[in-house]
Amino acid sequence: MKILDGKLLAKSLNDELSKKILSYNNEYGRKPHLLVILVGDNPASQVYVKNKEKKAAEVGIKSTIIRLSKDVSENNLLKVIDEANANISVDSILVQLPLPNHINSNKVIDRISIEKDVDGFNSKNIGLLALGRPKVIPCTPLGCYKMLESILDLEGKKVIILGRSNIVGKPLSFLLTNKNATVTLAHSKSKNLKDLCLSSDIIIAAIGKPNFVKKEWVKENAVIIDVGINVIEDKNGLRKIVGDVDYEDVIKKVSFISPVPGGVGPMTIHCLLSNTFLLTKN
């Protein structure tokens, strides 16, 4: 069994990226600029945004965070996005999800200009990805792909993705299909999940259920990518972060597995930074 070390891979990719950003800065006298909009005080979102800010600075990307109250009206949020779209000093825009319930997330996401949509969640970007003509690929799916690509050839591989969210499962199914994998996109209404997993070379878990995937579901020498980030209390009442896969249970059976934390998370942030640079160059 080998650990698919996302932290290490992200570090090496970030080092490469920072060299490219340095030479861009030398040529144009400016840094790429990422604008993050954070609405409300969701604790997980606060942590994610802090991490993005820190990593952006490390590779030479300027980041600005606009913090809005959880009561902000949808109209005011849309106005902030309109201003950012029109601001030529801003290269990429990210609205941290989830948004409060009174705001229509689809409307907000589609308001971000396609030229600045660093998450690739805009319906046009998702459509282009589905058609195999991607411009900006969503960060977590792209991070999962880069991890897989670092260890194997996806062509003809049977992949099961657990979870059909708009930000991970669905775009990832398009991306891996475009890379010639045979993809099953499973979800809470799927039947025979265990059998579907057992016949797959690669399992990607993105369902948000702690330790959901057990060894009985996993084929010998399978590869596992664990997208889950779940906070649980252990036997001693201590809070800890675990994935959607029961790591200790499956570990003897798999050929590779990405840990939580230190797997997909750092790769997602790397892809946010590389997407920012892509939009900056464009």
The contact set with ligand GUN (CB under 6 A) reads: 94-97, 119, 139-140, 167
If the CB atoms of residues 163 and 197 are measured against ligand GUN, the closer one turns out to be 163
Among residues 119, 201, 244, 246, the one annotated as catalytic is 119
CB hemisphere CA count around 199 (13 angstroms): 7
Which value, in Å, is the radius of gyration of the alpha carbons in the chain? 19
CB of 219 to ligand GUN, least distance (A): 29
Residue nearest to ligand GUN (CB): 97
Q: Which amino acid is at 44?
A: A
CB of 105 to ligand GUN, least distance (A): 10
CB of 43 to ligand GUN, least distance (A): 13
Among residues 55, 91, 96, 201, the one annotated as catalytic is 96
CB of 94 to ligand GUN, least distance (A): 5
CB of 25 to ligand GUN, least distance (A): 25
Two structure tokens written together for 235 = 């036997």
Among residues 31, 52, 116, 170, the one annotated as catalytic is 52
If the CB atoms of residues 17 and 139 are measured against ligand GUN, the closer one turns out to be 139
Is 46 annotated as catalytic? Answer: no
Is 96 annotated as catalytic? Answer: yes
Is 52 annotated as catalytic? Answer: yes
If the CB atoms of residues 197 and 204 are measured against ligand GUN, the closer one turns out to be 204
CB of 156 to ligand GUN, least distance (A): 29
Task: For residues 5 and 72, give the distance between their C-alpha atoms in angstroms, rounded to a whole number.
Answer: 39
Other beta carbons within 10 angstroms of residue 191's beta carbon come to: 7
If the CB atoms of residues 99 and 218 are measured against ligand GUN, the closer one turns out to be 99
If the CB atoms of residues 87 and 105 are measured against ligand GUN, the closer one turns out to be 105
- Listed residue (200, 194, 186) closest to 214, CA to CA: 194
* Dihedral class, residue 262 (left if φ above 0, else alpha if ψ from -120 to 50, else beta): left
If the CB atoms of residues 4 and 35 are measured against ligand GUN, the closer one turns out to be 35
Catalytic residues: 52, 96, 119
